[in-house]
Amino acid sequence: MNQTPLRRSVEPDPAPVTAPPLTPRLTPRRLAIGGVVVLAVLGYAIVTRIDRASEASRIATAARGAVRTVRVAPVAEPTGPVVMQLPGETRAVETATILARATGYVRTRKADIGMRVAAGDVLAEIDAPELDDELAGAEAARQQSDAALNRARANAELARVTNDRYADLAKSGTASRQTADERRADLVMKQAEVRVAEANLAASAAAVQRLKKLQGFETVRAPFNGVVVQRGVEIGDLVSATGAQPKPLFTVARDDLLRIQVSVPQSLADGVKPGTEAAITLPERPGAKFIGKVVRSSDALTTASRTLQVELELANAERQMRAGSYVQVNFTLPPSSSIKLVPASALMLDPDGSGPRVAIVKDGAVSVRKVLLGRDLGQQLEVLDGVANGESVVLNPPVDLIEGVKVNVAS
């Protein structure tokens, strides 16, 4: 029996239905609610700030009304000598950079770095053939000028004799006055030629002397006793006496006497004068001490650092110290009445950048003052301005210690 299979009709799924986007609508009710929220937030912020300001004012008022106990220390003056240590650098009392005065080639070099030389010692010799030839030409020109002078003198002598003869003949009437006048004029001209020849000879002699002096510079000599600290040439090098940047041959330093320049702070500048002695020490030689003496000062402060430039001299005949060394200059000065000392713990914090301050207790109240500090001595600070003798400063002042607050002083 044939059975007909059942057929199902498969229908496609319906397309998904997409909901339309929700677009907020700004209704008058929503706008009113938003405005209320914004006003509430602003009002809360304003009230909070007012409360904080009121709290700060209340705390400040309470601080002024409260009486706390503080520890104080008196403002002191330095009782002993002031020891001031300043950095310095030693320099040779004289330093000469030797340049060439003759153009040529270095024939010999007899000095080197570190060599001790005396004044007049030969350092090098320069071969300058062009200068030698020029000197020979000048010598020949001088000889020509000498010969010309002798000829001019002979002509002048002949003119003098002729003038005398015609003068006598003119008196006796044998020669005319015209001829006698011509002979006299010729004598004057010949005498002028003699003076010209003498001037030419002097010029020629001066040229010879100049070239001889330049020829003397072919031998390079030491200008004074010292040590050669730099060498700039070797044998065969070409050196020139002209040019914008001549090449140094040697540098010689006199180190039997050293100079030391230091910058003295303004607060102690009055105590450093010519004749003041100072102890010079080297960091690498802690046991060694040398005595220097102030010889001069700038007598004016440097505006950038408010310091006085002072120069000392140190005898160094034994060459125990080298030029160019870093040293420490120790001055021992009498105390200055303008400097006051306060404990380091009296310095107040500076949160607002107004500068260092201290708190002074006077008549049971606090007075906060700005001070000008000097050196930091560790447990004490130098105060150049801001406090006076007889005043008391608060030790370890609290952060909230303010102007005018009442305090009790601890015994």
DSSP secondary structure, 175-226, as one string: S-HHHHHHHHHHHHHHHHHHHHHHHHHHHHHHHHHHHHHHHHTTEEE-SSSE
Identity of the amino acid at 73: A
Greatest mean pLDDT among 19-28, 225-234, 377-386 lies in: 225-234
Residue 36 pLDDT > 90, yes or no?
no
Torsion of CA 180, 182, 187, 190, to 10 degrees: -160
pLDDT at 46: 75
Backbone angles phi, psi at 63, to 5 degrees: -65, -40
pLDDT of the residue at 2: 45
- Over residues 211-267, the pLDDT tens digits come to 999 999 999 999 999 999 999 999 999 999 887 788 899 999 999 999 999 998 887
Q: Write down the pLDDT at residue 142.
A: 94
What is 129-213's CATH topology?
A: Helix Hairpins (1.10.287)
Angle between helix 129-172 and 177-216 (nearest 10) = 160
Averaged pLDDT for residues 361-382: 85
58 — phi, psi (to 5°)? -65, -40
* pLDDT tens digits, one per residue of 166-177: 888 888 888 888
% of the chain residues with pLDDT over 70:
85
Q: Is the dihedral of CA 126, 127, 129, 132 positive or negative?
A: positive
Cα–Cα distance for residue pair 214/103, rounded to 1 Å: 9
Give tens-digit pLDDT for 288-315.
899 999 999 988 888 888 899 999 999 9
Q: β-strand 372-376 against 380-385: which pairing, if any?
A: antiparallel
Quote the pTM value. Answer: 0.58
Architecture of the structural domain at 66-80+338-409 = Beta Barrel (2.40)
Q: Is the pLDDT of residue 349 over 90?
A: no
Phi-psi region of 299 (alpha: psi -120 to 50; beta: other; left: phi over 0): left
Q: Where are the domains of the chain?
A: 66-80+338-409, 129-213, 253-333
Does 23 have pLDDT greater than 60?
no
- Residue 261 structure tokens: 């320049």
Give the CB-side neighbour count of residue 39, counting CA atoms within 13 A. 6
* Residue 157, pLDDT above cutoff 90: yes
Other C-beta atoms lying within 10 Å of the C-beta of residue 106? 19
Find the distance separating the first CA and the last CA of the chain, reported in whole Å.
Answer: 131
Residue 404: how many CB atoms within 10 A of its CB? 10
pLDDT mean over 123-145: 94
Which of 334, 260, 331 shows the shortest CA–CA distance to 297? 260
Q: What CATH class does 253-333 carry?
A: mainly beta
